[in-house]
Amino acid sequence: MAGSSADRGRAGSNRAALHAIDAIEPLKLRTGTPVWLGDGARGMSAAPLRADLKVDVAVIGGGISGALATDALLQAGLSVAVFDRLGFVRGSTPASTAMLQFEIDQPLITLGRRIGHARAARAWWRSASGVTRLRSRIADLGLRCDFRERHTAYLPGNLLDLAGLRSEAAARERIGLRSNLIDRHALMSLTGIDKPGAIWSAGSAEVNPVKLARGLWRSAAKRGAMLHAPVEIIDVAPGERWVTLTTDADCSISAGHVVLATGYSLTKLFKLPGYRIISTWAMATAPQPKALWPSRCLIWEASDPYLYCRTTRDGRVLAGGEDAAFEDDARRDALIATKVARIGRTLRGLLPQLDIAPAFAWAGCFGESASGLPAIGQVPGAPRCYAVMGFGGNGITFSAIAAEMIQRAILGLPDPDTDLFRLA
């Protein structure tokens, strides 16, 4: 089945917006074995697509963004079919260190100077409510994904020194965010780190991203979502009432709406100004529960590039950073040993009691925007097509925001933050 001939005619005129999805060289999203895949857990099963299909919403992408969007669309009573060219939870999501932070990469005071203080406050608040939304969906669906609420410690660095952190903490407190400046003594007793102070915040969390995404997909399948893989969408043609998608096996899908949750491949489709793909590295140590810092908070630095670290349920330390502004995956992969050694040394500089030998090491790519904000919303020139892109260090939090915004857009409901994240 497909759209009407009027739809097909209209589709032709709109092809410039989204055509030739197949001409895009797929990005190698990650290399090495992320800690979450180390237990040999079985992957998600999904069926290939053998016939044409008609559905309310087609979601392209089987990662965390697609999973959260699908969950929200099912909640709205819509029929949903999902397609992934690799398989479900096989892209960037398993590479994630999955710190669920409300803190955006750009400090509130910096973002305020860039986009205005009222808009920056809205972005930070929306991010905080993104983490809250994730927590409540995980609880509502009863997902067992090692979710734990955590504080964060934001350490001084080359972007903000202690005086800068003081201004940042004051700006956050003024708009009611749960952050305050702590001194050297408090930081030492919470983390064992010897620095002059830090911003201490409540309201963040950690999770196992593979268990979370697989749990969401299993729940979606039980609630009627049609999951298809491996299926590559090679063409998206928006029409007046239907969007027509073509697959690599030449099936045709007619959808009332399309959600592009294709992760960092998307920036290759839409060359948005200010967005770029960068490379990043991460490692996990062996379990060492006795050596961990007392609060087990999430730790990151006001630096560029920054180091970040967290603990896992089984007592490992996960650390990442060393980001570099290139997307050449061969170069990125050749650097795994060097970059991970550097991450380990920086980690030991902060927490000398740790055994920093990597039990897992991996590399991935990251989408980054100049403002640190995501791009979520209707694709310009492509009615009924929505995209989720431009994620920085808190991509999963942004995926949760995107799910809510795209659900509202498809239902024709207003969202107060459409202007903040629009694709433009």
Ligand X SMILES: Cc1cc2nc3c(=O)[nH]c(=O)nc-3n(C[C@H](O)[C@H](O)[C@H](O)COP(=O)(O)OP(=O)(O)OC[C@H]3O[C@@H](n4cnc5c(N)ncnc54)[C@H](O)[C@@H]3O)c2cc1C
Rule CB under 6 A: which residues touch ligand X? 21, 29, 60-66, 83-86, 90-93, 95-99, 232-233, 261-263, 265, 280, 282, 320, 364, 366, 391, 393-397, 399
User: Closest approach of Cβ 298 to ligand X, in Å?
Assistant: 8
User: Closest approach of Cβ 333 to ligand X, in Å?
Assistant: 13
User: Closest approach of Cβ 6 to ligand X, in Å?
Assistant: 26
Q: What is the DSSP letter of 72?
A: H
Q: What is the DSSP letter of 377?
A: E
Contact (Cβ atoms closer than 8 angstroms) between residue 210 and residue 93: yes
Distance separating alpha carbons of residues 367 and 138, to the nearest angstrom: 25
Residue closer to ligand X (CB basis): 66 or 197: 66
User: Closest approach of Cβ 7 to ligand X, in Å?
Assistant: 21
Alpha helices for 142-276 (secondary structure H) = 162-174, 184-191, 209-222, 266-269
Residue closer to ligand X (CB basis): 6 or 47: 47
User: Closest approach of Cβ 37 to ligand X, in Å?
Assistant: 13
Residue closer to ligand X (CB basis): 197 or 263: 263
Residue closer to ligand X (CB basis): 157 or 390: 390
Residue closer to ligand X (CB basis): 181 or 284: 284
Q: What is the DSSP letter of 325?
A: S
Give the nearest residue (CB) to ligand X.
395
Residue closer to ligand X (CB basis): 187 or 216: 216
User: Closest approach of Cβ 167 to ligand X, in Å?
Assistant: 25
Distance separating alpha carbons of residues 54 and 39, to the nearest angstrom: 38
Largest interatomic CA distance in the chain:
71
Collapsing DSSP to helix, strand or coil, 99 comes out as strand
Contact (Cβ atoms closer than 8 angstroms) between residue 138 and residue 147: yes
Distance separating alpha carbons of residues 363 and 335, to the nearest angstrom: 9
Distance separating alpha carbons of residues 385 and 377, to the nearest angstrom: 8
Contact (Cβ atoms closer than 8 angstroms) between residue 78 and residue 71: no
